Structure formats: structure tokens, C-alpha cells
Structure 1
Amino acid sequence: MSKIQKNSDNDKLIDSEKKIPTDQDVDKNLLPQENSKNSTLDNTIDIVDSKKTILNVPVNITVELGTSRIKIKDFLKFSKGSMLILNESIKEPLNIFMNGHLIASGEIVVLEEKYGIRITNIKNSLKTINISS
């Protein structure tokens, strides 16, 4: 039968007959080995695999041609052929967003009957990302 006693430090009940594990009771094979070549190699492989996974995540790229602020009543007057004037000049670079975050700017180009963007500026925080394996 277990003996239950009150621990004076924190007033919790403790079972005095429960065995506290010692170093001999712990299976050393279940513990991570410090400074092990295999452990270091496994960690490196995990990092490379994680990097490959992250680099292959699809993202949405959006290019913002411009913005305008109008009243709803003016929007409701639009019909086919109506013109919406944007605030940006044709000389200003277009903002490029990745998943809603501004990442770069560029200028519009036409390539094989499709629009494209020539990157003219990349945010400094993106320039420091190392993507080489």
C-alpha cells in the first residue's frame, strides 16, 4: 500500500513509494545523442528538406495597375465603355504583391501577346534570402 504524505513546500499530496527514475532506468538509445555525426547529418537533411518544401509552396502574385477612390453612386453609373481613371501616372512603376505583401515593383511589357512585368526593384528584405541549396 502506498503512503501518501503532504509536501510542505507546495501543499500537494505525493506518493512516497513511487520510484523516481534514475539514469540506470532510462534507455540511452531513446535519448538524442549530442555531438553525434548521424544527428548532425540528420539535422542537415531535415533543414534541406524543409527548405525544398518551403521553396516549392505555390504563391499568388498580383500586379497592381493602379488605384482609384470613388463613391458607390458613381460606380453604379458605370456601363460598358465607362472609364475609370486611376491615380497612378503611366511613368510610375507597378506594385508587385506576393500573397498580398508588397515584394517588388516593375514596368509592364508585352511578351508574345501576353502582358508581363519587368522587375525594376525588389524589397531589400527579399534580397537577403538565400535560395541556393
Structure 2
Amino acid sequence: MNKDIKDIKHDFNHDIHELETSKNKLLNVDKKNKKISNLNILNIKNSILSEAVLDVMIQLGVMKIKIQDLLQIIPGTILYLNKLNYDILDIFINDVLIAQGELVKLKDRYGIRVIKIFKSRH
């Protein structure tokens, strides 16, 4: 019975190694620096990752509020945000700031025109 468990463990470790190798090839990982050096967009477009769904959030601004003030909010209350310039909006994917853009109106809807893409975390 112990041999069976050892075989299962060996197979599992082998599968994990193969998955890690595939991921590193897909992402072109720089092993010396242990970071993604050049994300290979072509490989991602042709992989199952291209079907992944990510949350995109456009942030107009933020504010902090005391609970006592929060409890007093009624319809018509104005909440003051931290940004003065609303021309530049932050664009997040899965809570990571990846770009900035400007608000545009398209007929009866709004959109964001991307004006800056960040290459590293901000």
C-alpha cells in the first residue's frame, strides 16, 4: 500500500512540474530574476487563458467617511471625492491599477479612452 501512495505522490509531483514548465514557457519567465520578463501575447491569444474573464473597474475617485457620517447619508447628499481633475480616471483589472483614461460619451452611453498604460505596478 505504501508503494501505491509513493507512486501517486510521484505522479502528482511530475504533473505539477509539467504545469509549472508550461506556465513558464507561456509567460516567458526570467528564472534569474523570478519575474515575467516579456509576456508572450501571441501564446496567450492562442491559449485557454484568452477566455479568462477579468473584473475591470474605472475609478472616478475615493473618499473616507466616518460611520456616523455614513449613517446620515440621504438622497441628495453630496459625497466629495479625493480627485480634483476628473479628466483622468484610473483603470483597474482585478484591483491592480493598469491604465488611465478619459471619460467619453458615445450616444447614450459612456466609455473610457485609454491614454496611458502602466508597465509596472502603481
Percent identical pairs in the alignment equals 34
Name the structure with the higher helix share. 2
Which of 63, 75, 80 is the matching residue for 1:80?
A: 75
Distance apart, 1:90 and its partner CA:
3.0
Which of 62, 74, 83 is the matching residue for 2:57?
A: 62
CA contact (8 A) 2:102 2:115 kept: yes
Unaligned runs of 5+ in 1: 1-42, 127-133
For the pair shown, the structure with the greater C-alpha radius of gyration is 1
- 1 CA distance for matches of 2:71 and 2:86? 30
Helix, strand or coil for the counterpart of 1:124? coil
- 1 CA distance for matches of 2:112 and 2:45? 30
Unaligned runs of 5+ in 2: 1-21, 27-42
| Aligned CA-pair RMSD | 2.6
Matched letter for residue 62 of structure 1? M
TM-score by length of 2: 0.58
TM-score by length of 1: 0.54
How many residues end up aligned between the 2 structures?
Answer: 82
Pairing 1:95–2:113 present: no
